[in-house]
Amino acid sequence: MRLRLVPQETNIDFFKYARLTFGASMVAMVLSIGIWLAMGLNFGIDFLGGTTIRTESSQPVDVAAYRTALDPLNLGDVSITEVFDPTFGADENVAMVRIQAQAGEESVSPETITRVQDALREVYPAMEFPSVESVGPKVSGELIQTAVIAVLASLGAILVYIWLRFEWQFSIGAVVALIHDIALTIGLFSLLQIRFDLATIAALLTIVGYSINDTVVIFDRLRENLIKYKQRPLKEVMNLSANETLSRTLMTSGTTLVALAALLVLGGDVIRGFVFAIFWGVIVGTYSSIYVAKNVVLMIGVNRDKSKPDSKAGTQFSNIDA
């Protein structure tokens, strides 16, 4: 017996308030961009520049103890991650401590580095510091440029892919939905001033992949139904397709959100920004697959051959959830 979050057959009119839902989405997207331009982003070390200190100790790495020791120094954004490597010995415990550049400085000063090392030695007196590396503003600027290119390139590739697999109207709808998802995510990060670093860029690319997967599933069912029901209005066929894939959409998004919620609560500070971005992205991505992507296709319209009657044959899988 299969688990179902919704009845086997539903008849929800997803486009009853199409103008309202699409209009609200566009307003939210514009507001998100406005908040981003007005408040800016809380860039992390990757984009602001800073210094990375590599620590090595015979004692296991205690990230909480390291952070507690560094908190009184008021260094701003500090990232502490343990380094795992199969070549390390049992007594070789390595961590990377990343400190953002202080105000008015291109990198962390030698005095500050010394204070950090002294504070960490209070946790483990025998701790060693094999390397200290700094990232200047020029490198940080190049990272921002590369991140923007990565996001734009992914959107361009998806545009071409959807165009080739379906029709150009579908590709426009999919890309508008993806821009909507990215804009709302960046706007929320700007509003809440959550740290924005390379992990967040990875989360944005993950959101793009997740959202387009959901959109493609619905578009694929829509394409089948457009062939099967040639005489039905486009709006009715879209509603039918959305209802037929509703169970799959809720099951996929729901189970993903459960796992992300656990990571959000128990995962710790290091990955919280990354997980929060994906958590929010799954919600808006699921919403935009229907209320943005399909609304755009509905407004543009799709060229259909209505000269032939509806197909009665279908396929043996036509009523199975995608």
pLDDT band of 4, cuts 50, 70, 90: low
Burial of 274 (0-12, 13-18, 19+ CB in 10 A): buried
Q: What is the 3-state secondary structure (H, E, C) of 252-302?
A: HHHHHHHHHHHHHHHCCHHHHHHHHHHHHHHHHHHHHHHHCHHHHHHHHCC
Domain-terminating residue out of 82, 112, 135: 135
Burial of 181 (0-12, 13-18, 19+ CB in 10 A): buried
Number of domains in the chain: 2
pLDDT band of 33, cuts 50, 70, 90: very high
- Shared-domain flag, residues 215 and 290: yes
pLDDT band of 31, cuts 50, 70, 90: very high
- Shared-domain flag, residues 56 and 97: yes
- Shared-domain flag, residues 176 and 112: no
Residue 83 belongs to a domain: yes
pLDDT exceeds 50 at position 146: yes
- Shared-domain flag, residues 115 and 256: no
Residue 114 belongs to a domain: yes
pLDDT band of 320, cuts 50, 70, 90: very low
pLDDT for the residue numbered 34: 93
Strands 195-196 and 42-43: parallel
Residue 318 belongs to a domain: no
In DSSP terms, 83 is beta-bridged to 94
pLDDT band of 140, cuts 50, 70, 90: low
- Is the whole-model pTM more than 0.75? no
Percent of the chain with pLDDT over 70: 84
- Shared-domain flag, residues 193 and 75: no
- Mean pLDDT comparison of 42-46, 64-68, 149-153, 246-250, highest-scoring range: 64-68
- Shared-domain flag, residues 261 and 155: yes
Percent of the chain with pLDDT over 90: 6
- Shared-domain flag, residues 84 and 187: no
In DSSP terms, 95 is beta-bridged to 55, 82
- Shared-domain flag, residues 145 and 291: yes
More confident residue, 151 or 106: 151
Q: With beta carbons less than 8 A apart as the criterion, state whether 102 and 109 touch.
A: yes
- Shared-domain flag, residues 130 and 57: yes
What is the DSSP code (8-state) at residue 309? P
pLDDT for the residue numbered 184: 92
Residue 72 belongs to a domain: yes
CA–CA distance, 39 with 191 (Å, rounded to integer): 7
Determine how many CB atoms are found less than 10 A away from the CB of residue 226. 18
Residue 171 belongs to a domain: yes
- Mean pLDDT comparison of 194-198, 230-234, 281-285, 310-314, highest-scoring range: 281-285
pLDDT band of 309, cuts 50, 70, 90: low
Domain harbouring 261, CATH code: 1.20.1640.10
Residue 89 belongs to a domain: yes
pLDDT for the residue numbered 212: 83
Domain-terminating residue out of 119, 135, 151: 135
- Shared-domain flag, residues 224 and 115: no
Q: Pick the range with the lowest mean pLDDT from 142-146, 178-182, 227-231.
A: 142-146
User: Stretch 90-118: mean pLDDT, rounded?
Assistant: 78
Q: Pick the range with the lowest mean pLDDT from 209-218, 262-271, 298-307.
A: 298-307
pLDDT band of 192, cuts 50, 70, 90: confident
pLDDT exceeds 50 at position 293: yes
pLDDT exceeds 70 at position 279: yes
User: Stretch 183-193: mean pLDDT, rounded?
Assistant: 90
CA–CA distance, 156 with 78 (Å, rounded to integer): 35
CA–CA distance, 177 with 165 (Å, rounded to integer): 17
pLDDT for the residue numbered 316: 41
Q: Starting from the edge strand earliest in sequence, which strands make up the sheet with 93-100, in order?
A: 78-83, 93-100, 50-57, 128-135
Domain-terminating residue out of 135, 164, 187: 135
User: Stretch 160-174: mean pLDDT, rounded?
Assistant: 81
Q: Which domain holds residue 66?
A: 50-135
Residue 309 belongs to a domain: no
Cα separations in angstroms, 199 against 19, 43, 141, 274, 276: 35, 11, 16, 6, 11
Residue 313 belongs to a domain: no
pLDDT band of 297, cuts 50, 70, 90: confident
Per-chain mean pLDDT for the chain: 79
* SS3 at position 51: strand
- Shared-domain flag, residues 91 and 177: no
Domain harbouring 102, CATH code: 3.30.70.2040
- Shared-domain flag, residues 153 and 87: no
